[in-house]
Structure 1
Amino acid sequence: MSREGSLDAPTRHPIDWQNPEFYDLENLDAELRRVFDICHGCRRCFNLCESFPRLFDLIDESESGELDTVSSDDFAPVVEACTLCDMCFMTKCPYVPPHEFNLDFPHLMLRARAAEAKAKGGFPFVQSQLAQMDRNGKMAEKIAPLANWGSKRGNGLTRPVLEKAAGIDARADLPKFAGETFTRRARKDDAAGLINVNREAPAFGRKAAIYATCFVNYNNPGVGAAARKVLAHNGVESIVAYPGCCGMPHLESGNIEKVADNAKKVAAAMKEHIEAGYDIVTLTASCGLMLKFEWPLILPGNEDVKRLSEAVFDIDEYIVDIAKKEGLTPGLQSVEGGVSAHLACHARAQNMGPKSVEMMRLIPDTKIDVVERCSGHGGTFGVMKETYDLAMKVGKTAARNVKKGENKYVTSDCPLAAKHLVHEIESMNGEAEAPALPTAQHPVEIIARAYGLIE
């Protein structure tokens, strides 16, 4: 007799992506129907994202009101709406392993995308090109001002062309490229002796290799610079390492093989730092999730991947660890204006607690308002024409909560999520009303500001 739900801690099975049955469409359809029928009977997840309302509407509007009269051809919109945020698996579903029903909805959506691409002979072209983060970043670095002009929202010359040719919604706010990468900047800072480790700090002796992440490296090196300053102020020697992208953009489209290639490359390169006694610190929640959890499920037999997964901290998690074990360097001052702290889904999915909030609450006399709802961004999900409106719909509640807080800053462990929330608020305000928008920040930038390390 099956149990009605489970109180056991969720566990995940390795992704069986190298098994030919993984891509068998008939086998996949049977599993989709098995899982969808269980979801239909439960419906706890109805308010998490658009996948579930789409599924339940399909069933409710069918001839029988049950899954048996829903055509498998109608499943595509359900799969499309999943952002792989993992919130259903981690926070809602009572039937995840070790329950005998064995549900893993996000990884089933991943399988569906992988199988569809296999059947069609390739992955969606535009998403595949956008996912080439290192190639795109290296190209854009050389022409950053031109690239940023062309991608600027409101550019009536380029954005309509980009929408028509590439399917990138003209209304979407695209990330800007830095003229100098974080890795290049770090090398210059080290050569000039600008990173001075505080030998009097309680945590002096720690060593951290910062995994730059593609977004920080190419788009927002200021986050990395702030992290290095905070770590140095707290006695932590740091180096910057970036062997390549974690592959999350490829995972979104179901290209698991490409993710595995990236994982092997990065894990092999980071091995020397682990052996030299460095903790590995990542600067965005999505990358932390990939290195800690997704990579070991994709390559369960790879020792480099396993060892890396056990050595990785998110930057907020790492600073909180210092605070608890050695204590932070004194001198944190209040941050005026308050902070709306968005909890990124990929941080929540790591099941480590709200570390960004825990870290920022170490700052005295500072207003911190927590926002837990999804921002709706989801990587390319928030910029593509076919999903932009849906992304804005999903993120509306979180944006309203940020707006209601009337704080000067909005932070997120996912920098793109913070930017998306600002864009949502700007869209809500409209042309006639123009109150000051919150400034999007990474939580570590708030700590750096509280220490007086950045302005």
Structure 2
Amino acid sequence: PHLMLRGKAVKFREGQVKARDRLITNTDAVGRLAGIPVVVKAVNASEKAGPVRKLMDKVLGIHPEAWLPPYHADTLHRRFKKRPRKPLEPRAGERTRGKVVLFGTCYGEYNEPDIAMDLVRAFEHNGIPVELAESRCCGMPKLEIGDLETVERLKAFNIPRLAKWVEEGYDLVAPVPSCALMFKQELPLLFPGEEAVEKVARAMYDPFEYLLLREEEGLLNTDFKVPLGKVVHHAACHMRVQNIGLKSRELLSRVPDTAIVGVERCSGHDGTYAMKSEFHEVAMKIGRPVFNRVRQAKPDYYTSDCPIAGHQIETGLGDGSHPTHPLTLLCIAYGLKEKP
């Protein structure tokens, strides 16, 4: 609720926010540092090392059993540049322009670039040319600790660049619901009347929202090659508040021999909440109904549009299984990727 965000902003101005929270919400800087080739292996290994995790608990207040995201030296931008380019001619529909710019997100850039690349694969398979925006964090992590000055600085970097793409005839997509929500709703509320902010908000889409619009226009590739079996789909909180429906669930249900089991409760992760020593046990308790539902379903896959919610479910299950993102499932269904 925005009333609570106002309270957080006051606390931040008064210096009541922990150094830990300032650090872990500085996603671009942490990602760049942790992704340095000589550093990345040590960082990823330390996330799994018991003694290091105990030290992180004591010094930083990061719970030793909390899931922490991996980092990659082979970032999204590097992978995007290396990929074989397909010569595609955009086909505009009534509502879609048929060519998109990907806001990769800091999570997609440094932590799970495969998810963003799966978006590229799926869109290009549908004849939609994809470009990758130069970007910084959308600002949602900083908004959630009340750091409005940093939110404004990030907006000043991202919005002019994205608005320029829109002016050149592109639609915008973001693979992480929190980032799409930031551009669609939060920035317009924080900076009302700014033309560029509103222009970006109107052009920003969830990837499955965009693909279903293409379906309405008769432009969606529905030649699915691989059934997905039983899939438990968790409805991410920041997806639900966009009020667009559960588009990934809707599209994946089109895949033959695929049964979707829906779960519409909070996973308990809430950004960085589940990582913190003082909140981790509460977060796991909040997510327990979700974990139990997945466990009882015995699915072939479990998935969430929010990657960290998916990993929260992974932590709650504790059985060695891993989530598969909806974009990855779509690529599997198209026959573009092997089953994990």
Superposed pair shares fold, TM > 0.5: yes
Q: Which residue of 2 aligns with 1:285?
A: 177
Matched to 1:237, the amino acid is P
Matches within 5 A, 1:234-245: 234-245=126-137
Displacement of 1:330 in angstroms is 3.7
Paired residues, number? 334
CA distance in 2, matches of 1:202, 1:328: 12
Q: Which residue of 2 aligns with 1:451?
A: 334
Cα gap change, 1:346 to 1:380, in 2 (>3 Å): same
Q: 3-state DSSP class of the match of 1:308? A: helix
Q: Which residue of 2 aligns with 1:129?
A: 23
C-alpha contact 2:76 2:110 (8 A) present in aligned 1: yes
Matches within 5 A, 1:50-89: none
CA distance in 1, matches of 2:215, 2:87: 17
1:147 aligns with 2:43: yes
Cα gap change, 1:205 to 1:353, in 2 (>3 Å): closer
Q: Which residue of 2 aligns with 1:171?
A: 65
Cα gap change, 1:233 to 1:250, in 2 (>3 Å): same
CA distance in 1, matches of 2:170, 2:313: 34
Displacement of 1:264 in angstroms is 2.2
Matched to 1:110, the amino acid is L
Matches within 5 A, 1:144-293: 144-152=40-48, 155-189=49-83, 194-196=84-86, 206-293=98-185
1:356 aligns with 2:239: no
Matched to 2:212, the amino acid is V
Q: 3-state DSSP class of the match of 1:253? A: coil
Cα gap change, 1:199 to 1:243, in 2 (>3 Å): closer
Displacement of 1:336 in angstroms is 3.7
Displacement of 1:320 in angstroms is 1.2
Which of 292, 297, 307 does residue 415 from structure 1 map onto? 307
CA distance in 2, matches of 1:404, 1:336: 18
Matched to 2:315, the amino acid is H
Q: Deviations over 1:382-416 (max 9, x none)?
A: 10011111110111111111111111211111100
Cα gap change, 1:375 to 1:325, in 2 (>3 Å): same
1:107 aligns with 2:34: no
Matched to 2:10, the amino acid is A
CA distance in 2, matches of 1:161, 1:337: 42
Matched to 1:125, the amino acid is A
Unaligned runs of 5+ in 1: 1-105, 427-433
CA distance in 1, matches of 2:87, 2:295: 38
Q: Which residue of 1 aligns with 2:202?
A: 310
1:383 aligns with 2:266: no
Across the aligned residues of Structure 1 and Structure 2, the Cα RMSD in angstroms comes to 1.8
Q: Which residue of 2 aligns with 1:5?
A: none
TM-score (normalizing by structure 2) = 0.94
Cα gap change, 1:370 to 1:329, in 2 (>3 Å): same
Q: Deviations over 1:339-397 (max 9, x none)?
A: 11111000000000111111111211112111111111011101001111111011111
Matched to 1:195, the amino acid is R
Cα gap change, 1:201 to 1:328, in 2 (>3 Å): farther
Q: Deviations over 1:80-117 (max 9, x none)?
A: xxxxxxxxxxxxxxxxxxxxxxxxxx111111111122
C-alpha contact 1:173 1:423 (8 A) present in aligned 2: yes
Cα gap change, 1:257 to 1:205, in 2 (>3 Å): closer
CA distance in 2, matches of 1:242, 1:166: 31
TM-score (normalizing by structure 1) = 0.71
Displacement of 1:325 in angstroms is 1.4
Q: Which residue of 2 aligns with 1:442?
A: 325
1:116 aligns with 2:11: yes
Q: Which residue of 1 aligns with 2:266?
A: 374
Q: Deviations over 1:162-190 (max 9, x none)?
A: 1111000001010101121101210122x
C-alpha contact 2:226 2:335 (8 A) present in aligned 1: no
C-alpha contact 1:316 1:443 (8 A) present in aligned 2: no
Matched to 1:127, the amino acid is D
Displacement of 1:123 in angstroms is 2.8
Cα gap change, 1:200 to 1:285, in 2 (>3 Å): closer
Q: Deviations over 1:39-64 (max 9, x none)?
A: xxxxxxxxxxxxxxxxxxxxxxxxxx
Displacement of 1:338 in angstroms is 2.1
Cα gap change, 1:134 to 1:200, in 2 (>3 Å): closer
Matched to 1:146, the amino acid is A
